[in-house]
Amino acid sequence: MTFRLLLCMVLTCAPEMVMGAVDQYLLLNYSTSIDSRTQAAEMMTYVHDKFGAASKVSSLKVGVAIIYTPKERLAEHVVRLKADLDLAKQLQVPVLIQVDTENWLPETLLNWYDPQKPGYDPAKVADVEWYGWTPDTAVKLCWRNWGTMVRVGPHPNLLSPRFQAWERGIYEALAPIVVQWLKDLPADQQWLFVGWKCGWETTPNSQYAYFKDGNSYYQRTENPKWVEADKQIIGYNAAKTAGIQTSGVLDYQHTYDVFMKIIGRHLSFLASTARALGLPRQKLFVHTIVQGVDRYNMDSQFNADSNPSPSFYGKPTNSLRDNPSFMRCLTKARADLGTTGYGIGEFNLGTKDYDTWHAWFTERLLRDPDCIFQALYNYDTMKGKASVEQALHDAMLSAPNKR
């Protein structure tokens, strides 16, 4: 059956084929490179050419989720964001904006430890994480396991006033650009703005892992072996800063609630900052991981200024909707906090199988009226993969636009 014929069928399909919310989104995620002027054009052109016609007639729309990492080059990202938004409007490609203030940070921001490098200030010991309750346990570096072992700077104290002031400055530079762009969009193009995502799978001791005697590696080229038993829990400084806990031992077995509160307070700060800058509450999302206990979910990802959008890396036959705790919390948050739905901050099914993807798009997205968007990480899973692209096309054309 030709694509043109399918489009015609959408316009005359039976009411029972209509599924999902007014607008739902499948977003191809990528991290913008400030040095690549063609990256956004290539991604948006691909989405426009491959899915643009279907997006106009379907309630399931395909767009892009873009991660901006300003670090020391904030002014350049201001220019890049403006250009990307202009291109999104021109090509009619929906966008989800994410500004990274967690995973890739300026080296100068947290330099409490090296007087030979820019930004050195011993007082910044308050802005990094500790593996104990006192400043002498402050960390100088951490490691990340993203397929390979990556050495990174020290984990920030997510609740440090000075660190949060830096985050606020980043948001103040970028969020108003999105607010103005959204304001200027005609009413019939408001669907192009999916939202603004705060955090990046925020999880203490995950994106930044610290190992015993980790500081000793600062002046060495080798890294410690990734041995789970050698990990040393950090998070003491944030817990102390916020008064969540100030003594005793922190670990994931007995004080898990402490880490959930740290995550929640940090993401709530980012969401409230974005909202104060003019972004609509229903377009704000926070990104961490889903929990199986109600109080953990409520503490970490439900707040009065945003919607949750945890990651999902489960079996294709399941989804976040199959997590009873998350759904109970969503119901409660709708009533108590004004939550309007949820997103999947990142996911990937890890297959090229048409049937698996088609079932996911129809059963796990379109038939879930609470799910606003899903961000597909490693977009090359779809780009250029005919079976996956076709599965998405077919799902889109089974769900006509309800506007």
Closest CA to 293 of 257, 343, 261: 257
Residue-level pLDDT, tens digit, the chain, 403 residues: 443 333 443 333 333 333 344 899 999 998 887 666 678 889 999 999 999 999 999 999 999 999 999 988 999 999 999 999 999 999 999 999 999 999 999 999 999 999 999 999 999 999 999 999 999 999 999 999 988 899 999 999 999 999 999 999 999 999 999 999 999 999 999 999 999 999 999 999 999 999 999 999 999 999 999 999 999 999 999 999 999 999 999 999 999 999 999 999 999 999 999 999 999 999 999 999 999 999 999 999 999 999 999 999 999 999 999 999 999 999 999 999 999 999 999 999 999 999 999 999 999 999 999 999 999 998 888 999 999 999 999 999 999 987 6
Taking each helix axis as running N to C, give the angle between helix 386-396 and helix 3-12, from 0 to 180 degrees, rounded to the nearest 10.
20
Query: Long-range contacts for 221-229 (Cβ within 8 Å, ≥24 apart)?
Result: 223/143, 223/149, 223/151, 224/143, 226/143, 226/145, 226/149
**What pLDDT sits at residue 394?**
98
Q: What is the pLDDT of residue 37?
A: 66
| pLDDT of 403 | 64
Instruction: Check residue 380 and give its pLDDT.
Output: 86
Which CATH fold would you assign to the domain 21-105+159-201+256-403?
TIM Barrel (3.20.20)
Q: Does the pTM of the predicted model rise above 0.85?
A: yes
Q: Which residue ranges make up each domain of the chain? A: 21-105+159-201+256-403, 107-155+206-251
- List beta partners, residue 61: 25
Alpha carbon separation from 299 to 87, 180, 267, 290, 337 (Å, rounded)? 38, 32, 10, 11, 13
